[in-house]
A = this chain, B = another copy of it.
Amino acid sequence: MTQRIVKSLPDQEKSLIARIRGRARRGTGLVVGIGDDCAILRVPAGHELLITTDLTLEKVHFRRDWHPPQVVGWRCLTRGLSDIAAMGGTPRAALLSLALDRRVPQSWVNQFLTGLLDAAEQFRIPLAGGDTAQSAGGIQADIVVVGSAPTGKAIRRSGARPGDGIYITGALGGAAAALGQLKKTIVRWKDYERHFHPEARIQVGQWLGRRGLASAMIDTSDGLSTDLEHVCEESGVGAMVESAAIPRAKVGRPANQVSLELAMHGGEDYELLFTSSGQVPSTIAGVPVTRIGQMTKKRGMVLIDATGISGKLVPKGWQHFVA
């Protein structure tokens, strides 16, 4: 009789909706939030709409024994926010689709939502809607983030030109280093902040967008080598990177600099990788910015090592474990 083949979760769903409504911040532009067929939003006049979706799957993107529920919720929304940051945009609202099996305790869901809504509050966006369902096993979330940028001003991947400098915010490899440690032992959040509590670089993106200073931009979700390749492909150019210039994260206890390998190919740091032909300051919105190379007319990516010898830079971010 029901259209769903297995039982759904009316009580859990009602509780979820009540919690979201209870904490929902009516951000500017939200006309109708949860409780209708669609959310209704107003986009500022003269702005284009930005939309991104990101899956967060148990056993794929997180493990319940490694990641506390607040961390999973925070990171779930951060993945979408980071995509908005990478366009130089302003986030406007989020929608969450969440599938849970019946054995997921309500306390897990509550803490997951707490983490997600903490991030929503920090960036002043409402959780405007979504969907809930019973899963066939485990936890699956999909976050949608809607943002906007002045028409024609969103920073794409395709605008890099030969001679443009290549820049990266913050430091790389910290998130991947945490995953490596988690496989071996218990780790403390604060020793691996960028893994457990990454912050989308919204302000840096907006700063660059306002000044038209970045010719291309992407966030480092897949790892520097793979994300830089995306920029090269979409822009139709090549890149030359100096390995000694790549800022490597200091993580752990005592804090150690991660390996070059991790900094080049480890993902989920959610830093911004951008190209520019202009004068780029060494700090933007309080975040360090480092020049790591420049775009080239010749296609392909080249890595220059500390001794000045150049070799091929192979993208092996998120494909790394593939046989």
A residues adjacent to B (C-beta < 8 A): 1-8, 10, 31-32, 35-43, 45, 48-55, 57-63, 83-84, 86-87, 89, 93, 95-97, 99, 128-138, 140, 142, 144, 146-147, 149, 151, 154, 156-158, 175-176, 179-180, 217-219, 221-223, 234, 261-262, 265-268, 316-322
Residue pairs across A and B with Cβ atoms less than 8 A apart, 12 shown, are: A2-B320, A6-B60, A35-B157, A38-B87, A51-B51, A51-B95, A51-B129, A53-B96, A57-B135, A57-B136, A58-B136, A59-B136
Q: Shortest Cβ distance from A123 into chain B, in angstroms?
A: 15
Contact check: which of B10, B48, B60 meets A4 at CB < 8 Å? B60
Establish whether residues A218 and B87, one from each chain, have CB atoms under 8 Å apart when the complex forms.
Answer: no
Establish whether residues A52 and B37, one from each chain, have CB atoms under 8 Å apart when the complex forms.
Answer: yes
Residue among A53, A138, A222, A265 with most chain B CB within 10 A: A53
Q: Shortest Cβ distance from A177 into chain B, in angstroms?
A: 10
Stoichiometry (number of copies) = 2
Q: How far is the CA of A142 from the CA of B261 in the complex (A)?
A: 34
Establish whether residues A60 and B3, one from each chain, have CB atoms under 8 Å apart when the complex forms.
Answer: no
Q: Shortest Cβ distance from A94 into chain B, in angstroms?
A: 10
Q: How far is the CA of A34 from the CA of B309 in the complex (A)?
A: 36
Q: Shortest Cβ distance from A290 into chain B, in angstroms?
A: 21
Q: How far is the CA of A260 from the CA of B140 in the complex (A)?
A: 36
Q: How far is the CA of A119 from the CA of B210 in the complex (A)?
A: 39
Q: How far is the CA of A58 from the CA of B137 in the complex (A)?
A: 10
Establish whether residues A55 and B133, one from each chain, have CB atoms under 8 Å apart when the complex forms.
Answer: yes
**Contacts of A40 on B, CB cut-off 8 Å?**
48-50, 87, 149, 154
Q: How far is the CA of A151 from the CA of B44 in the complex (A)?
A: 12
Residue among A43, A51, A176, A321 with most chain B CB within 10 A: A51
Establish whether residues B57 and A49, one from each chain, have CB atoms under 8 Å apart when the complex forms.
Answer: no
Establish whether residues A42 and B48, one from each chain, have CB atoms under 8 Å apart when the complex forms.
Answer: yes
Establish whether residues B36 and A261, one from each chain, have CB atoms under 8 Å apart when the complex forms.
Answer: no
Q: How far is the CA of A36 from the CA of B52 in the complex (A)?
A: 9
Contact check: which of B10, B63, B89, B320 meets A38 at CB < 8 Å? B89
Establish whether residues B2 and A267, one from each chain, have CB atoms under 8 Å apart when the complex forms.
Answer: yes
Q: Shortest Cβ distance from A13 into chain B, in angstroms?
A: 10
Establish whether residues A38 and B8, one from each chain, have CB atoms under 8 Å apart when the complex forms.
Answer: no
**Contacts of A133 on B, CB cut-off 8 Å?**
55, 57, 60-61
Q: How far is the CA of A133 from the CA of B261 in the complex (A)?
A: 24
**Contacts of A52 on B, CB cut-off 8 Å?**
37-39, 95, 129
**Contacts of A37 on B, CB cut-off 8 Å?**
52, 83-84, 86-87, 157, 217-219
10 shortest interchain CB distances as A-B pairs: A3-B267, A3-B268, A142-B142, A59-B136, A37-B86, A38-B50, A37-B83, A41-B49, A38-B52, A1-B320
